[in-house]
A and B are shown apart, each in its own frame.
Chain A
C-alpha cells in the first residue's frame, strides 16, 4: 500500500496548545535531553515530538541504548544532576484540568500532583525500584491508602491487583529480595496500577517474563487504554508492540524517525530503518541490519541512519525533516511511497 507523502509539517501547526484536541493527554514538543559526562556530551533525546491521546497505546520502539528509557525518566522528572533538558511536555489528564508542563513545572508540583496520580511508571529494573524493607502487600496497601482508599478497601484492592498482574496473592507477603525477577516485575506493575494514573509509562515491562505473562501484562495495559486511560509503552520487543499498540513510534539515535498507526507500521513501514528492523524478525527475513548505530556522544550532522541505509543519497547528509505519510510522520529523505 503506497502512502501519499506531503512536504514537511510546518512548525506553526505544532505550536497549537494541548486543549485544541480534547482527547490529547500528553504533548511532547521539541524535547532535548543531554548528559554531561567527564569527557563527553551524551545526546540522549533530540528534538522529540509526540502526542498521546486518551485511550491510545503508543509503543516507542528502538534498540537498547537509543534513548527510550531516558524519555521515560525525563517525563517523570527523574533525571540526574548532569542532565540538561529543554523543550516542553504538556500533560493534561482531562479536558477541564490545567495542563502541566512536566519539564518546567518544578519538583514540588511533580511530586505532589503529577507522579503516581496523573502519570505513573512501571520501571525497567524492578529490583532497584522496590523498597526492600516492606513486603509487597505493605507497599501496595500504602500506595492505595495514599490515594484515598480506606484500610479495608486497600487490603481487598491489593489482592485484586495481584491477581490482575498474575501474581499469586500469597507472594505478596514476601519481601522484594525473595521474589524472582519476573515476580518483582509484576509487583512493580501492580504498584504502578495501584494509583490508577491517567497516563502510564511502561518501561520494558516484560523483561524477565515468559510468554504467557508477557501476553498477560500487555493485555492488562491494553485494557487500561480501552477503559479510557493512556499508555506509553517503551520496548525493544516488536511483537509486543504488534500485539497491543495503536500507534508505533520508532526511535533511532535519540530521534523519533517514524510514527505510524500500528497496522500501517507493520504492513508498510515508511522509514528504511523500520523496514530493516521488521525484516530482522524471525517470522520475516530473520536478517540483521548491517553496521552499528552511532554513539550518542558523536551523532552526525545529517541523518544518523545514512551510513547503514541502502537508500542513502547525498541529500542524506542533511537532517531530514518530518514528512507526513498517510496517517503518520517519517523523518527521511526517501521514505517508502515518495518519489526520490
Chain B
C-alpha cells in the first residue's frame, strides 16, 4: 500500500443548498497520523465539508475516498463499518447528545449499534469515560444535568468508542475553558499516536492551530485557498 492510499480525501466536492453554492470544487486530504488544521470564517463551508468527509452528506459532485477506496453515497447508503471509521466531533455538545440518554449510554451507542451486547458496551464505555476524565458518578446522569465541558468529554468518548481511523473536530473545543480544551486535546493526541489516526482540526483559534496542527488549510466562500505550510 503506497502512502498515498492511507488517507481520507475529498475529491472536487461541490455542494449546494437550495441553489446556493456552499462548497465548490473542494479537494482536501488527511493522512493517517497527521493533524490538518482547517481555518475559515463562519459561512465558509467548513462544517459542511466536515459532514461530507464524515459521510453524512452526499456531495452534488465529487466524492470522498477512504484509504484509496472511493465511497459512493452517504449516511445509510454507506456500510456501518465504513461509516464509523470517520468520527465527527461537534462544536455544541448539547445538540450532539440525545437528551434522553444517560451519559453511559451516549458513550456506548456506537458499540451497541455495531452489535456489542449491553453489558460489554457499558463496560467499555466506563473505560473510555475514565480515559477522557469523566468521573463515574456522572455516567448515570442525563445531558441536562452535566456541564458543557463534561458533555463534550462524553461526546469525545463516544467518538473514540467507534475506534475511528480519522477524527474530525468541528470547533470541538471552542466552547470549552482552557483546561478542558487541553485535556480533550491531550486525549485526542494520545489516541492519534496509538492508532495512527488522522485528525482534521477545524478551529479559528490560531494558538491552537499553531500548537497542534501539522499544516493548515484555509477555506473561504466554499473554496480552498492555497494550503499554508507551517
Contact = CB atoms under 8 A, between A and B. Distances in A.
Given a CB threshold of 8 Å, the question of whether A touches B is answered with yes
Interface of A: 62-65, 180, 182, 207-214, 236, 238-239, 276-278, 280-283, 286-289, 292
A298 to B, nearest CB: 11
Contact of B182 (A209, A214, A280): A280
Nearest to A239: B207
Nearest 3 pairs of A and B residues by beta carbon: A288-B183, A211-B204, A65-B147
B179 A289 contact: yes
A64 B205 contact: no
B17 to A, nearest CB: 13
A288 B190 CA distance: 14
B62 interface: no
Contacts of B41: 210-213
Contacts of B27: none
Nearest to A291: B133
B175 A288 contact: no
Interface stretch (B7-15, B82-90, B97-105, B208-216): B208-216
Interface of B: 40-43, 133, 135, 147-149, 175-183, 185-186, 204-208, 210-212
Given A63-B180, A288-B183, A207 B207 contact: no
A276 B179 CA distance: 8
Contacts of B186: 286, 288
13 contacts: A64-B147, A64-B149, A64-B175, A64-B177, A213-B41, A238-B178, A277-B179, A280-B178, A282-B185, A286-B185, A286-B211, A288-B186, A292-B133
B27 to A, nearest CB: 23
A273 B177 CA distance: 13
B43 A64 contact: no
A164 B182 CA distance: 34
Given A281-B178, A288-B186, 14 more contacts: A63-B147, A64-B176, A65-B149, A209-B42, A210-B204, A276-B179, A281-B207, A282-B210, A283-B210, A286-B186, A286-B211, A288-B179, A288-B182, A288-B183
A63 B179 contact: yes
A212 B208 CA distance: 16
A62 B211 CA distance: 23
Contacts of B205: 211, 239, 282
A283 B42 contact: no
A326 B181 CA distance: 31
B179 A182 contact: no
B59 to A, nearest CB: 22
Given A63-B177, A288-B183, A182 B42 contact: yes
B101 to A, nearest CB: 21
A280 B210 contact: no
Contact of B207 (A208, A210, A283): A283
A294 to B, nearest CB: 12
B99 to A, nearest CB: 16
A282 B212 contact: yes
A239 B212 CA distance: 17
Contacts of A212: 41
Nearest to A212: B41
Contacts of A278: 178
B211 A288 contact: no
A213 B210 contact: no
Given A64-B148, A209-B42, A210-B42, A280 B207 contact: no
Contacts of A210: 40-42, 204
Given A211-B205, A212-B41, A288-B186, A280 B179 contact: yes
A255 to B, nearest CB: 17
